[in-house]
Amino acid sequence: MIPVEYYLVVAGVMFGIGAIGFLLRRNLLVQLMCVELLLNSVNLTLVAFNRMRPDDHNGQMFAFFVIAVAAAEAAVGLAIGLAIYRLTRSVRSDEADLLKN
């Protein structure tokens, strides 16, 4: 079998890629996709740790709710992105400065 650390390393690297992408990219849509990457890597750790202790399904249940929240977050985030696009004719996140000053 495969040691649990392998899964944790993959999840950690994926989280790092997603977080750095979220910080560096300025396209609102790509940033939302990076958030999905982060949530996916967290789900992976939850499921991997749950596999280490197969008496119950606590980790999988938590991952299930994370997936549900991620779906809602994608819907609301894309709606906000569309609203910002209609307002500024751009999807660049650093042009959304309505609350500035």
Partner 1 sequence: MNVLSLVFFGFSALAALLGALGVVLAHNPIRSAMGLLLAIAGVTAMFIGLDAHFLAAIELIVYAGAVVILFVFVIMLIGPDATPPHDSKVLFTRTMAAVVFGVFALVTGFFMLRAGGGLHQLPPFRPDFGTIDSFGRELFTRGLVPFELTTALFVVAVVGALAVARGRHRSDSPAEVAKEQAP
Q: Is 101 in the site for partner 1 (CB under 8 A)?
A: no
Which residues, including other chains, have CB under 8 Å from residue 77's CB and lie 6 or more apart?
32, 35
Q: Is 35 in the site for partner 1 (CB under 8 A)?
A: no
Which residues, including other chains, have CB under 8 Å from residue 26's CB and lie 6 or more apart?
92, 93, 94
- Which of 90, 98 has the CB closer to partner 1? 90
Q: How many Cα atoms within 13 Å fall on the side-chain side of residue 12?
A: 6
What's the closest the beta carbon of residue 101 comes to partner 1, in angstroms? 18
CA 88 to chain centre: 25
Q: Is 99 in the site for partner 1 (CB under 8 A)?
A: no
Comparing CA positions, the residue from 74, 80, 9 lying closest to residue 39 is 74
Q: Is 97 in the site for partner 1 (CB under 8 A)?
A: no
Chain residues in the site for partner 1 (CB under 8 A)? 1-7, 10, 12-14, 16-21, 23-27, 29-30, 32-34, 36-37, 40-41, 43-44, 47-48, 50-54, 56-57, 60-61, 63-65, 67-76, 78-83, 85-86, 89-92, 94
